[in-house]
Structure 1
Amino acid sequence: MPNRVAVIGAGIAGLSAAYQLRDEAELVIYERNDYVGGHANTVEVIEDGTTIGLDTAFIVFNRPSYPGLSAFFDELGVPVLAHEGGFNMFDLDTGVEFGTLEFDLPEHEIVERYPESFLGIWRDAQRFHAEAPRHFLRKQAEFGLGAYLDLHGYSEAFKRGFVVQLATAVWSIPPELIWQMPASTFIAFFMAHDAEGLGGRSVAWHTVQGGSVTYVRKALAAIGAELRLDDPVVAVEDLGHWVEVRTLSGSSERYDSVVLSTHADQALSILGNPTPAQQAIEAVRYNTSSCLLHTDEAVLSKDRARWRSWNFGTVTTDGQSRAWPVYHLNQLQDLNARQDYFVTLDCPIEVAPDKVIKRITYSHPIITCEVRDLQSSIYRAHSGSRVLLAGSYFHSKSLGPDQIGSHEAAFSSGVEAARAVRAVLADPQFSRRDHAHSKSTQEEAL
């Protein structure tokens, strides 16, 4: 009989692993939520009789920085659209705004048209884009971002008015956690995505036509696995000749191998007797963000002409400076829509209740120097167990240890987990059981 493999977690890491194994094993995919896709989470609305897919987490990709994911989309025949890019930063306290266009201007125009406070940010940004890649290549940036910026004399205005906004959008973490991340990881993002980060000047961005749910549906059709939704797995235990998986509903089944493609903390909470290499992922912590999909333009600049795909606001509330990203989905996804649609993360501006479409909570790995250091040994977790791990807290092997936390990193981890599953099943000590191993313990009790 065919080998049985369970994939626990149906985000891109789990879908990637399942896709690789689709012709090699009988697959069962477990997902604690009532939908498949994880951060590929599209909310579909009806406007004038037409269905519009609104992405709320994963939205854009480019081929140089997402090689595995791009090839995956090509294989599946996923339709994609070109995305122009562009960002705008606006400070509600000072009224100062700047973005992609300003960084294309010569310095004398900045001096003539903008306040001194922005001139400092502009100059620091130009210096950062010129110097930081050299520091990265010389391995002179493999320590905390806050310490790196201080060492090289960057201004508080640059840190608070540029770095914070981009980092909160890209890694979905609050400002107080940004300074802990490795400077090399922050720099690598710009090197891979272009000097404007999300500006789309030198890298061709794309978005999935119809929303990321389009690729999820195509992947599921190609995989053809049995889906177990809305029933969280509560225990996974490697029993030597098989792995037992138990769910909240009381189901218990045995598999030849399991891919545990959840967040690191979730994996350790359900994995019995992890190996030392698996236990090491406890270094990965998570930040929870409040995501709001809505139609309230109050969260954006008052000047509509300045709206871009990526918008970053700053305002002082209760004596504290707060930053938040606003994704203008109409531009990001090239929507043919009458209504404007926005996604905000941890936004301090009150959104009118009647304009809220959906509230969603997301968790993202916090990329610290400890997590980056872990990347040198993290793939050892694929040895010595029938349970293999996958998730965006692994780096992409083809892109290096600073490519963590992205859709590409998660996809790559799924590919590597599938490769490790094959090794488990091909092990000469692998002991094949009879068909009884596929029965649940509930059935055996009967």
Structure 2
Amino acid sequence: MPENTSPNVAVIGAGPAGLSAAYRLRDRARITVFEREPRPGGHANTVEVEENGRVLGLDTAFVVFNPRFYPRLCAFFAELGVETVAHPGGFEFFDLDSGLEFGTEEMELEESEIEARYAAKYPEFPDVWREVRRFHEESRRDFSRGRADMSLGEYLDRNGYSTEFRHSYLIMLCSAVWSVPAELIWEMPAATVIAFFVGHDEGGLGGRRVDWRTVGGGSISYVRKALAATGPDLRISEPVTGVRQEAHGVTVTTAAGSSTFDYVVLATHADEAFALLENPTEAQRAALEGVRYSSSRVVLHKDASLMPTVRERWGAWNYGKTKADGETRCFVTYYLNRLHDFTAEKDYFVTLDPPRPPDPDLVIAEFDYTHPVIDVALRDRQSVIYEANEGTGVKLCGSYFHSKELGPDLIGSHEAAFSAGAEAAARILDEIS
């Protein structure tokens, strides 16, 4: 690279990791962003609908954040002048078959009140309520003493938690936070799950002691501002088919041909990065190989049948349970009017992995989203994962990295991806300075 010439950097993937890296490099490099989808943003995917001449931004994947656990993202929003909107929190559990409903209010009652309200009609619920209390008390103590270094399933087995507690409470909260199928929840590190509740509160995403916020107008607002501030050569609908590390640069291949760059930021899922990278280093292989992903179906709709039956009990987060095909199916429905804190004539919902299709006449859009499976193996590799970016022309980043600022249990979130992208850019800046 000639002296005093800005390096040519390709960023592959325009999700939060790629946008973060590109923004960080904007004043020191010539940036080309490749995105296989017809839109930038990744999980910052907003569907804009018009109602009475007003545009409503409805988020379908990344929806909420808070200053404590999204510090870099919040600083980024402040720098860009992105509007953020507070929402009141609150959650509701509901069983479509039995009619059992409980939520934020019930978790704060005394045991005698729970017995009086539920024992006659739902005799199993007071026991679940007691297990919820026990879990949050004991798990915090076990976490602080280093006694949660195992899978969640093993932790629950060792401590005698019932199947009803798992399926009527814990599995639904975890499915919403990490967007993974119920059967994979038990493989998660217990420490990672407990750390989330310790840092937030017993309500998880519906916790009311957390300053939860959404992006004004939907997360597409921050994507647009980030791209305007960065000004890259944005190539949407142009999937990369290969990345090869050469002695003097990195070759990127698409259907349009091959180009050589000084650096490449590979801001994709780990399995996709591993497939694209033709000659990974040993450290890159160790970071990428074997990271698993799961897919979730997300439906944006107006069908209230996937909500609690009593409208007055609708929370921002509504955790449902029902029998389908002989199995217990857990799902979550976000009530976007409340989450985004807007008033509208219609009610708008996002349901993750619905147990049955919503009324097709009420469906607005459907998406498949992929998330890393956060198991013990992925958490263990966090101790060395950043070594993959040392001394190479290809820098890796994504939500399968942890946030350095918050520690190895902060994996899989928008903040983790954004933080990893910023770190990848920082390595390039160090090398060209």
TM range (shorter): over 0.9
1:379-438 Cα offsets, whole Å, 9 max, x none, are 111123100000000000111111000011001101110011123334xxxxxxxxxxxx
Q: Could you tell me how far 1:157 is from its partner in structure 2?
A: 1.0
1:364-393 Cα offsets, whole Å, 9 max, x none, are 000000000010111111123100000000
Name the aligned partner's letter for residue 154 of structure 2: A
Q: Could you tell me how far 1:132 is from its partner in structure 2?
A: 0.9
> Which residue number corresponds to residue 285 of structure 2?
279
Q: Could you tell me how far 1:199 is from its partner in structure 2?
A: 2.5
Contact 1:275/1:384, CA 8 A, preserved across alignment? no
Match 1:187 to one of 188, 194, 209:
194
1:253-304 Cα offsets, whole Å, 9 max, x none, are 1111010000000001111110111112222110011111111111112111
Contact 1:264/1:391, CA 8 A, preserved across alignment? yes
SS at match of 2:403: coil
> Which residue number corresponds to residue 14 of structure 2?
10
Is it true that 1:144 corresponds to 2:151 in the alignment?
yes
Is it true that 1:312 corresponds to 2:314 in the alignment?
no
Is it true that 1:34 corresponds to 2:45 in the alignment?
no
Name the aligned partner's letter for residue 173 of structure 2: L
> Which residue number corresponds to residue 160 of structure 2?
153
> Which residue number corresponds to residue 133 of structure 2?
126
Match 2:354 to one of 305, 327, 347:
347
Match 1:48 to one of 49, 52, 56:
52
> Which residue number corresponds to residue 65 of structure 1?
69
Contact 2:177/2:204, CA 8 A, preserved across alignment? no
Q: Could you tell me how far 1:319 is from its partner in structure 2?
A: 1.2
Contact 1:291/1:361, CA 8 A, preserved across alignment? yes
SS at match of 2:408: coil
Structure 1 unaligned segments of length 5 or more: list them.
427-446
Q: Could you tell me how far 1:127 is from its partner in structure 2?
A: 1.2
> Which residue number corresponds to residue 382 of structure 2?
375
Is it true that 1:398 corresponds to 2:405 in the alignment?
yes
Match 1:332 to one of 309, 331, 339:
339
> Which residue number corresponds to residue 115 of structure 2?
111
Q: Could you tell me how far 1:250 is from its partner in structure 2?
A: 2.6
> Which residue number corresponds to residue 413 of structure 1?
420
Match 1:259 to one of 248, 254, 265:
265
Contact 1:312/1:325, CA 8 A, preserved across alignment? yes
Name the aligned partner's letter for residue 6 of structure 2: P
Q: Could you tell me how far 1:139 is from its partner in structure 2?
A: 1.6
SS at match of 2:17: helix
Structure 2 unaligned segments of length 5 or more: list them.
none
SS at match of 1:272: coil
Give, in whole Å, the separation in 2 of the partners of 1:363 and 1:199. Answer: 23
Name the aligned partner's letter for residue 70 of structure 2: Y
Give, in whole Å, the separation in 2 of the partners of 1:27 and 1:304. Answer: 49
> Which residue number corresponds to residue 423 of structure 1?
430
Is it true that 1:215 corresponds to 2:230 in the alignment?
no
Q: Could you tell me how far 1:170 is from its partner in structure 2?
A: 1.1
1:125-170 Cα offsets, whole Å, 9 max, x none, are 1111112122112221111101101111111111111111111111
Give, in whole Å, the separation in 1 of the partners of 2:263 and 2:432. Answer: 8
1:152-207 Cα offsets, whole Å, 9 max, x none, are 11111111111111111111111111101100011011112222112232111111
Name the aligned partner's letter for residue 333 of structure 2: V
Contact 1:372/1:401, CA 8 A, preserved across alignment? yes
> Which residue number corresponds to residue 437 of structure 1?
none
Give, in whole Å, the separation in 1 of the partners of 2:201 and 2:154. Answer: 23
Name the aligned partner's letter for residue 410 of structure 1: A
SS at match of 1:185: helix
User: Where has structure 1 moved over 4 Å in runs of 4 or more?
Assistant: none
1:15-26 equivalences in 2 (<5 Å)? 15-26=19-30
Name the aligned partner's letter for residue 244 of structure 1: T
Q: Could you tell me how far 1:34 is from its partner in structure 2?
A: 0.7
Contact 1:80/1:209, CA 8 A, preserved across alignment? yes
Give, in whole Å, the separation in 2 of the partners of 1:201 and 1:188. Answer: 17
Q: Could you tell me how far 1:244 is from its partner in structure 2?
A: 0.7
1:55-112 Cα offsets, whole Å, 9 max, x none, are 0000110111111111111111111111111110101121111111111111110010
Contact 2:321/2:331, CA 8 A, preserved across alignment? yes
Give, in whole Å, the separation in 2 of the partners of 1:309 and 1:349. Answer: 21
TM-score where L is the length of structure 1: 0.94
Is it true that 1:164 corresponds to 2:164 in the alignment?
no
Q: Could you tell me how far 1:121 is from its partner in structure 2?
A: 1.3
TM-score where L is the length of structure 2: 0.96
> Which residue number corresponds to residue 440 of structure 1?
none
Contact 1:257/1:424, CA 8 A, preserved across alignment? no
Give, in whole Å, the separation in 1 of the partners of 2:134 and 2:373. Answer: 27
Give, in whole Å, the separation in 1 of the partners of 2:141 and 2:422. Answer: 31
- CA RMSD, 1 decimal: 1.0
> Which residue number corresponds to residue 268 of structure 1?
274
Match 1:288 to one of 277, 281, 295:
295
Contact 1:324/1:344, CA 8 A, preserved across alignment? yes
Contact 1:40/1:55, CA 8 A, preserved across alignment? yes
SS at match of 1:61: coil
